[in-house]
């Protein structure tokens, strides 16, 4: 796979035959038809993604894309910028101290932290795919060049494909980047048409009495860059950031490799909007997880007609919601593989002893 076009062309629609076979099997399980609701439709979707009516045990990994943002200089976040690098280090296998690491541990999920543009030297234990030490300030100029964006999309997509080749069968997306709810809100506004006052939220405890400033910066970023709302790559390059490009690349690569992609919160919704803009077929591979408490979440999800499974009022990011939701895929597979069938042997009482 040498080009982005080859990548997107390799993303197939779901396998309708496998889905029909899965539905038939599910309707023959020991339960009233339809009574396991969205667990049933999830299992059917998984069969379509895997192109097989056999759902195997999964190996799950969350790929966390970490980068810094030039727009931080506009005062749109209260957390110090250094925290991106510090938390990337805390995300490494030897430490495992962040929220997603703790939740992934409970769910049997691996965490893979990738530096696509942190403003620091390379960090031991963090996969180094650094494009630059932070992207440019979207309030003044484009975050990056279109070439940088395309190149990072392709390299992160290839990372996802290589993880699937290594045996990962469910991919989750996560991110780390102080200030990144600002570009994400810009993306959501550009694609959905929602005004920044609807898409901009408090992120990591930004003071509500300063929210008007963050909204103004998002408005400015869109006004300065004028991204074409139908050109996903242009949107990412102009008002995105390296972490957002990386997350989008994982979605494209995961879809190309034929595995479910479990979303996280607001940042992942923004990237999913872009991924579907770049290649609409990606949508079929997306699995929503939780409803983020970040403002603008409902708008982004409604635009994609995705309904999260979990309502936990979480707004940490990192892939934390994906970690929990990945267990719902395991639940769907267990239903599919372990429940008895409506066959004679399962419909009789034991002989009185």
Interface residues for a second copy in 322-351 (CB under 8 A)? 323-324, 327-328, 330-331, 333-335, 337-340, 346-350
Binding track, positions 120-139, relative to a second copy; x by CB under 8 A: xx-xx---------------
74 belongs to the catalytic site? no
Q: Is there a contact between 304 and 277 (Cβ–Cβ < 8 Å)?
A: no
Report angle CA 83, 114, 95 to the nearest 5 degrees: 60
Rule CB under 8 A: is residue 310 a binding residue for a second copy? Answer: yes
Rule CB under 8 A: is residue 302 a binding residue for a second copy? Answer: no
Pinpoint the alpha helices (H) of 51-119: 83-90, 99-107
Count CB-CB contacts under 10 A for residue 122.
Answer: 11
The size of the interface with a second copy (CB under 8 A), counted in residues, is 67
Handedness of CA 125, 130, 133, 136 (dihedral sign): negative
Q: Which stretch binds a second copy (CB under 8 A): 213-221, 237-245, 276-284, 317-325?
A: 317-325
Rule CB under 8 A: is residue 305 a binding residue for a second copy? Answer: no
Minimum separation from the CB atom of position 300 to a second copy (A) = 17
Rule CB under 8 A: is residue 39 a binding residue for a second copy? Answer: yes
> From the candidates 61, 74, 150, 318, which is the catalytic residue?
318
Interface residues for a second copy in 269-298 (CB under 8 A)? 293
Question: What φ, ψ does residue 326 adopt, rounded to 5°?
Answer: -60, -25
> What span, in angstroms and rounded, lies between the C-alpha atoms of 223 and 232?
17
> What span, in angstroms and rounded, lies between the C-alpha atoms of 66 and 320?
14
Question: Among 10, 45, 98, 268, which residue sits at the site for a second copy (rule: CB under 8 A)?
Answer: 98
Q: Is there a contact between 177 and 67 (Cβ–Cβ < 8 Å)?
A: yes
Binding track, positions 64-93, relative to a second copy; x by CB under 8 A: ---------------x--x--xxx-xx---
Rule CB under 8 A: is residue 103 a binding residue for a second copy? Answer: yes
Nearer to a second copy, 95 or 195 (CB): 95
Both tokens of 176, joined, read 């780390």
- The candidate with the shortest Cα–Cα distance to 62, out of 310, 322, 330, 327, is 322
Q: Which stretch binds a second copy (CB under 8 A): 17-25, 100-108, 132-140, 211-219?
A: 100-108
Task: Write down the number of H helices and E strands in the chain.
Answer: 14, 6
> What span, in angstroms and rounded, lies between the C-alpha atoms of 315 and 323?
14
**Residues forming beta bridges with residue 124, ordered by sequence position:** none
By annotation, the residues acting in catalysis are: 318
Q: Which residues bind a second copy (CB under 8 A)?
A: 29-39, 79, 82, 85-87, 89-90, 95-99, 101-103, 105-107, 120-121, 123-124, 204-205, 293, 307-316, 320, 323-324, 327-328, 330-331, 333-335, 337-340, 346-350, 352-353
């Amino acid at each position: 796979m040498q080009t982005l076009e080859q990548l997107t062309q390799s993303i197939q629609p779901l396998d309708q035959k496998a889905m029909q076979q899965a539905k038939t099997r599910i309707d023959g399980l020991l339960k009233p038809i339809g009574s396991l609701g969205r667990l049933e439709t999830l299992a059917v979707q998984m069969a379509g993604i895997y192109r097989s009516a056999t759902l195997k045990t999964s190996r799950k990994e969350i790929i966390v894309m970490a980068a810094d943002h030039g727009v931080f200089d506009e005062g749109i976040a209260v957390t110090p910028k250094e925290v991106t690098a510090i938390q990337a280090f805390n995300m490494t296998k030897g430490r495992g101290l962040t929220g997603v690491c703790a939740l992934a541990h409970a769910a049997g999920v691996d965490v893979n932290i990738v530096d696509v543009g942190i403003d620091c030297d390379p960090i031991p234990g963090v996969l180094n795919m650094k494009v630059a030490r932070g992207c440019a300030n979207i309030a003044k100029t484009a975050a990056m060049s279109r070439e940088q964006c395309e190149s990072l999309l392709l390299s992160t997509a290839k990372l996802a494909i290589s993880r699937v080749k290594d045996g990962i069968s469910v991919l989750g997306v996560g991110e780390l980047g102080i200030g990144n709810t600002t570009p994400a809100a810009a993306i959501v506004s550009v694609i959905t048409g929602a005004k920044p006052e609807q898409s901009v939220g408090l992120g990591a405890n930004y003071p509500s009495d300063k929210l008007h400033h963050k909204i103004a910066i998002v408005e400015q970023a869109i006004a300065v860059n004028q991204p074409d709302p139908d050109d996903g790559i242009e949107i990412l390059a102009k008002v995105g950031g390296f972490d957002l490009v990386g997350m989008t690349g994982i979605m494209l690569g995961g879809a190309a490799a034929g595995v479910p992609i479990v979303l996280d919160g607001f940042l992942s919704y923004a990237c999913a909007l872009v991924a579907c803009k770049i290649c609409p077929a990606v949508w079929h591979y997306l699995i929503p997880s939780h409803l983020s408490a970040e403002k603008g979440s409902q708008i982004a999800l409604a635009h994609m007609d995705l309904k999260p499974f979990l309502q936990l009022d979480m707004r940490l990011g990192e892939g934390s919601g994906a970690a929990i939701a990945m267990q719902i895929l395991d639940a769907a597979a267990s239903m599919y593989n372990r429940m008895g069938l409506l066959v004679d042997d399962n419909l009789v009482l034991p002989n009185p002893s």
